[in-house]
Structure 1
Amino acid sequence: MKCFDRHWRRALLGICLSAGLVSPSFAAESVTLNEAIEKALSQNTNVRIADETIEERAAKTRQASLLPNPEVGVEVENVLGSGPYAGADEADVTVGLSQLIETGGKRRNRIEASRLAETVATAEREAVRRRLRERVAHAFNRLLAAQRDMELANAAAARIRDLVPALRERFERGASSEADLNRGLLTLDLAEIEAQAMQREQRFAEQALLALWSEAVYRPVRAKGALDIPDAALPAFSELLSRLDDHPTVRGARQVVGQRRAAFDLEKSNASPDVTLGAGARRFTGTDESAFLFSVSIPLTVFDRNQGNIDAAASQVVQADLDAQQVRVELVRELQEVYATYSSRCSVAARLSRSVIPASEKTAAEIEEGYLRGRFGVLDLLGAQETMIDARLQATEAILACRNAYASLDSLTGPFAEGELK
């Protein structure tokens, strides 16, 4: 029974695809791929988070460039004691100003580490935008495929409704069996179920695209364009491989190495003791005299020479360098997979579109015409229709994989040809 259902279900989808019955989209927004990408770049929450991260790092760079604040102090001696110091007549009042002087290039290294952190955030934002473009392209392609599948299912459902009266008429005049009529009625039920399933799939595809626009509430969206094979010549793999060095993730990983090295230099400079200079004036109330005073203080690096932080920073440099190497290894692996998918699936899609589908359509049309004239039976019709729908389904799947691979190549290596998805 399972094989029987599948047989009729596939045959149904192939019957006279020209007789469309497409469910209308109420107030659906139609967008091209470029419009969908621009909308995502302007609305996606992850892009906005990346923008705010850059602002945060820039603010920290400004903070790192600031000098330490001077300190003012007031000191009162010889008060509230006993004898002549019982009151404040013999008080000595000192007012001083001190300033911490950073040594060892601390401020320079701090600024450099913060500046490199800012460049890392910029590279990360570019990587987020690239990946978002890829995800939008995949979601857009999925919606295009879902729209095609729904049109196909609705067309098949409409056509089978038109064929049921003919099946009933042939049964009533004894030209076909009751089993053929029952198969037709069962096929109609399956057609309507299939159309509902395709409608749900299209809604899921719409919601996936809306999610990339950071929209939580569903609304109808329609992908404007054709599910065609990308019109682009694929460069050699070696050329695409060389472009990975300019990928924002790779550049960001290299910049992280530079940032960690700057942090290492900062920790080494933190081992140098800072100098605190002070100056002030003291008022001797008992003798009504005053004097200036100066001070210099330097901590003695007897126990803490910042050795633990220096060692940790050195280890972080090594970790960052290894991470950068691994990032490129992962991108190379991803590029190899996408390159192979693009090469194979686009070739399959082109062959199906050029030869297999036209031949299956011609055969199906001839057998359907013969069936209506009584020259072929129901099983002949089903076999031809199943072959045609299989070819169409395989073509849709292959084109979708080809277009998604193209979008992934664009994300990994940047635009590599004049052709583009529409």
Structure 2
Amino acid sequence: MRITLSVLLLALPLAAWAQTPQTRLNAGTLRASEPTAPLTLNAALNLALGANPELSAAGRELEALDATITQAHVRPNPEFSALIEDTRRATRTTTLQLNQPIELGGKRGARIEAAERGRDAASLELDAKRAEIRAAVTAAFFDVLVAQERSRLAQASVELAQRATAAAARRVTAGKVSPVEETRARVAEAGARVELATATSELTTARRRLAATWANPSPRFERAEGDPEALPPLPALAHLNARLAASPSLLRAKIEVERRQALAKVERSRRVPDLTLSLGAKRDEERGLNQAIFGVSIPIPVFDRNQGNLLEALRRTDKAQDQLSADGIRLFNELAVAYERLSTARQETASLRQDVLPGAQSALDAATRGFELGKFSFLDVLDAQRTLFQARAQSLRALAEAHRSAAEIERILGDTRPAPAAVQP
């Protein structure tokens, strides 16, 4: 009769399981202390980097992979066995034996290396996620700034339309123009109010999008504080391409190749069977003898040589290398596209500010004064007003596109440094 005793110690965290799902959820919920005062870009970045749930999840994954390295260092447990032959005490033979598996073929070292490469990949994933959050916050922050400016311009347009309506009403009362002029003025004022409502709605959406980066569904900050007219800098494309090789996204793909190579090494080491050493004692009651027992056992790899798992690991290594090449090409193209968009947006903004906006403002001022003096019709004022508003709206769109492109470049390069100060063109 053979009796094998296996001692397993199971430690169950009962206190953790006693919590309700809602309690565990509340314990892991990140809360951001969002100020009600005006919000700066640095404050928004600090809020998002400290309370973004996606960033927290990436950090938890890194902590989990630290634990896998700890487990990879662990050696196999010994096994204790007891063997009793014959149930009669006088003729009974009792054998006590301790078996210790010995890993061969470099299994432990390969296992540790694979776990470390996995942790390196998770660390770069955290860096990439941090850069992604920074880029999203930067783009959302400047969207709020631009939306605030557009709302201000829309409010100014409404005030201008109100003055034009009042002037048209006075001229109609004096009998200088047809009542049709006043009707046109009121229609233009209604259009300006619609534009103001649209700008207000876009501002609300932009504020919510920014607050969502730090997991706040309802923004509390009063307004975004910054220079909405400032443009992001335009570094040399060659300099950006040189930095691309050190981006977390590309480094992560390189580490994935190394991790797959390490996993292939693990599967290759498993082709070597492990050795089991046995040490024990045997008691023969009938003869009254105690005997020492020494033993060695090793599997014979006749059928299972781990050939399938090794082939799979090698093919996945090839896949990781192909993915590295594809990621390099994709990131290079994305960087070139974002750079071109930034350059175009800067040129468009500069052209509008230097040539279009001053001329449109001057034309509106002249048309307004001429209309009040009776030299121009209201249609001239309306056209000048519409031209100025369209030019300002186009300038704001170009400015927002510039900041979004700069944020995209920051995301691609994985830049986790403080955001560079925007400069005037």
Range into which the TM-score falls when normalised by the shorter chain: 0.7 to 0.9
Q: Aligned pairs, how many?
A: 388
Corresponding position: 1:149 with 2:157: no
Check the 8 A contact 2:232/2:403 in 1, yes or no. Answer: no
CA contact (8 A) 1:76 1:93 kept: yes
1:39 matched residue in structure 2? 47
User: Which SS does the other structure have where 2:245 is aligned?
Assistant: helix
Tell me the equivalent position of 1:325: 325
1:193 is matched with: 194
- Quote the Cα distance in structure 2 between the aligned partners of 1:367 and 1:232: 37
| CA distance, structure 2, for counterparts of residue 316 and residue 336 of structure 1 | 30
Give the letter for the 2:278 counterpart.
G
Q: What are the residue-to-residue correspondences of 1:46-85 with 2, within 5 Å?
A: 46-79=54-87
**Distance in 1 (alpha carbons) for counterparts of 2:272 and 2:162:** 88
User: Contact 2:92 / 2:284 at 8 angstroms: preserved in 1?
Assistant: yes
Q: Kindly indicate whether the alpha-carbon contact (under 8 Å) linking 2:185 and 2:378 is maintained by their aligned counterparts in 1.
A: no
Q: Are residues 1:396 and 2:396 paired?
A: yes
What is the rounded CA distance, in whole Å, between the counterparts of 2:341 and 2:135 in structure 1? 15
Q: What's the counterpart of residue 90 of structure 2?
A: 89
2:156 alignment partner AA: A
Query: What secondary structure is seen at the aligned counterpart in 2 of 1:74?
Result: strand
What is the identity, as a one-letter code, of the residue corresponding to 2:259? Q
Alignment-derived partner of residue 9 in structure 2? none
SS in 1 for 2:176: coil
CA distance in 2, matches of 1:268, 1:400: 54
Give the counterpart letter for 2:109 in structure 1: R
CA 1:158–1:228: 2 relative to 1, 3 Å = closer
Q: Distance in 1 between matches of 2:167 and 2:231?
A: 42
Per mean C-alpha deviation after superposition, the further-off stretch among 186-195 and 390-399 is 186-195
Pairwise CA distance, 1:220? 4.6
Shift of 1:316: 0.7
1:415 Cα deviation (Å)? 8.6
Provide the C-alpha distance between the structure 2 equivalents of 1:415 and 1:49, rounded to a whole number of angstroms: 18
Letter of the structure 2 residue corresponding to residue 278 of structure 1: S
Alignment of 1:22-421 (within 5 A): 28-79=36-87, 87-230=88-231, 232-235=233-236, 237-413=237-413, 414=415, 420-421=421-422
- The CA deviation at 1:419 is 5.1
1:227, 1:400 within 8 Å by CA — same for their partners in 2?
no
Paired residues of 1:250 and 1:327 also in contact (CA < 8 A): yes
Q: How far apart, in 2, do the equivalents of 1:408 and 1:226 lie?
A: 20
Identity %: 30
Which segments of 5 or more consecutive residues in structure 1 lack a partner in the other structure? 1-26, 80-86
What is the alpha-carbon distance in structure 2 between the residues aligned to residue 163 and residue 233 of structure 1? 42
Do the aligned partners of 1:267 and 1:306 also contact (CA within 8 Å) in 2?
A: yes
Offset of 1:294 from its aligned partner?
A: 1.2
In the alignment, residue 112 of structure 2 is paired with which amino acid? Answer: I
Shift of 1:228: 2.4
SS in 2 for 1:185: helix
AA paired with 1:173? A
Q: Root-mean-square deviation (CA), in Å?
A: 2.0
Deviation string, structure 1 residues 124-162 (Cα, Å, up to 9, x no partner): 110111111111111111111110111111222233334
TM-score by length of 1: 0.88
- Specify whether residues 52 and 231 from structure 1 end up closer, same or farther in structure 2 by C-alpha distance, changes over 3 A only: closer
Mapped contact 1:279–1:293 kept (Cα < 8 A): yes
2:290 match: secondary structure: strand
Matched to 1:392, the amino acid is R
How far apart in 2 are the matches of 1:105 and 1:415? 38
Q: How far did residue 231 of structure 1 move?
A: 5.6
Q: Deviations over 1:209-264 (max 9, x none)?
A: 111111123435521111124363521x2232121110001001101100100111
Give the distance between the partners of 1:151 and 1:306, measured in 2 at CA: 70
Aligned to 2:12: none
* CA displacement at 1:394 relative to structure 2: 1.2
Q: Is the 8 A contact 2:142 2:228 kept in 1?
A: yes
| Conserved? CA contact 1:356–1:391, under 8 Å | yes
CA deviations 1:74-97 (Å, max 9, x no partner) are 111111xxxxxxx43322111111
Maintained 8 Å contact 1:264/1:310: yes
* Contact 1:273 1:300 (C-alpha < 8 Å) held by counterparts: yes
Q: What SS does the aligned partner of 1:420 have? A: coil
Q: For 1:160-217, what per-residue CA distance to the aligned partner results, in whole angstroms no more than 9, with x for missing partners?
A: 3344333222212222222222222223333333222211111100110111111123
Distance 1:352 1:271 in 2: 70
What amino acid sits opposite 1:47 in the alignment?
Answer: L
Deviation at residue 62 of structure 1 after TM alignment: 0.6
Please name the residue that 1:10 is paired with: none
- Matched to 2:347, the amino acid is S
